[in-house]
Amino acid sequence: MSHVKLFIPGPVEVSAKTQQAMIQPLMGHRSKDFQALYERIMPGLKTLFGTTQPVFLSTSSAWGAMEGSIRNLVTKKVLNCCCGAFSDKWYDVSLNCGKQAEALKVAWGQPITPEAVDERLATGEFDAITVVHNETSTGVLNPLREIAAVVKKYPGVSLITDTVSSFSTVPIGFDELGLDVMLLGTQKALALPPGMALFAISEAALAKAGTLKDRGYYFDFVEFRKNADNYMTPSTPVIPLIFALESKLEDIFNEGLENRYARHARLNGLVHDWVRRHGFECFAPEGYRSKSLTCVANNREIDTAKLVSLMKKNHLMAIDGGYGKIKGTTFRLSNMGDETDATIAELIAALDDSLAKL
């Protein structure tokens, strides 16, 4: 059956194998069968996160875990690093949770610098910081390793990291970098349907969460940990997505992690070649460019809405015409998930054709 294939940066195209995995018969979530399922996927998840900590499954999109991190880990004040739509919104969420918060802002398209983080944390005002690793709206990959090294100088400051669109596309070691929370949603880099968030928490962060009184129930880190020790979740989980995740882990380890990272880098490079060939530019500066999507600066001032519609009408492909305030001045192409040299070649041929018809 033909359908519009998703090259937007989330949700991305879901394979037939993944869809098939989701329709397995259900089990009770307090059953041995469920515990066995969660136990089966745990080692693969730990490897992907680069951690010895348990990985938690939240039946929510990524924002659930993002809000939960604020509610569980901010006692004094949080520094929200803002460099695009998702990271900017995290600051609003902090305020909506009734927390003291400060926005560390850079212009959209620019990365967060470790120096700026250092300068703000040195004030001693903060006990948490949020960083979006791959800012999906601008295509900026922030220097997480360098930022994490700076945060380490300030014990007691929890480093909360969103890896929604970078997870498993570039190496990110939770333990090695000393992160306190690392979270993602299923519908982007993992190419699963939307509806579940995965996250890891450091021991230090978990201990801190235990001291907070108003962390709520649905995203209570202490509850997640207690349940995961028994391979369970606090509330009824989205079991079909966990089946899908099990199938996806099989795909990832069959391919091999290094091959998966190399594939994302190579396919992203093919898209960048297309960008240059047509006289466009990347919105993100060299050295800070995402490997899982490309945010193209519309320096040629083409009609991006028309490009999006030609791609859909003539080629059954969905691309993105730019997010929020950079809609029209940018457009975005995803190479996340299961894309291959062949499917990216199809995308590029379709883009060439559509550009010629503008």
Ligand X SMILES: *Cc1c(COP(=O)(O)O)cnc(C)c1O
**Footprint of ligand X on this chain (CB under 6 A)?**
10, 61-63, 86, 132, 136, 162, 164-165, 185, 188, 194
Give the integer Cα–Cα distance in Å for 190 and 10: 10
Between 188 and 260, name the residue whose CB sits nearer to ligand X. Answer: 188
Least CB distance from residue 272 to ligand X, whole Å? Answer: 20
Least CB distance from residue 230 to ligand X, whole Å? Answer: 27
Give the integer Cα–Cα distance in Å for 316 and 22: 25
Give the integer Cα–Cα distance in Å for 358 and 356: 6
Phi/psi at 342 (5° precision): -70, -45
Let me know: does 293 contact 336? Beta carbons within 8 Å: yes
Least CB distance from residue 347 to ligand X, whole Å? Answer: 20
Least CB distance from residue 278 to ligand X, whole Å? Answer: 25
| Cβ-Cβ contacts under 8 Å for 118 (sequence gap 6 or more) | 150, 153
Least CB distance from residue 192 to ligand X, whole Å? Answer: 11
Give the integer Cα–Cα distance in Å for 88 and 111: 13
Give the integer Cα–Cα distance in Å for 43 and 86: 30
Collapsing DSSP states into helix, strand and coil, what is residue 103? strand
Q: In angstroms, what CA-CA distances link 255 with 22, 24, 252, 326, 330?
A: 21, 24, 5, 36, 33
Give the integer Cα–Cα distance in Å for 90 and 106: 14
Q: Helical H runs in 74-109? A: 85-96
Between 165 and 354, name the residue whose CB sits nearer to ligand X. Answer: 165
Least CB distance from residue 243 to ligand X, whole Å? Answer: 19
Between 67 and 127, name the residue whose CB sits nearer to ligand X. Answer: 67
Between 111 and 185, name the residue whose CB sits nearer to ligand X. Answer: 185
Least CB distance from residue 262 to ligand X, whole Å? Answer: 22
Between 157 and 183, name the residue whose CB sits nearer to ligand X. Answer: 183
Q: In angstroms, how far is CA 178 from the centroid of its own chain?
A: 18
Between 292 and 354, name the residue whose CB sits nearer to ligand X. Answer: 292
Beta-carbon-side half-sphere exposure of residue 36 (alpha carbons within 13 Å): 5
Least CB distance from residue 168 to ligand X, whole Å? Answer: 14
Collapsing DSSP states into helix, strand and coil, what is residue 58? strand
Which burial class, exposed, middle or buried, applies to 267 when counting CB atoms under 10 A from its CB (0-12, 13-18, 19+)? buried
Between 61 and 329, name the residue whose CB sits nearer to ligand X. Answer: 61
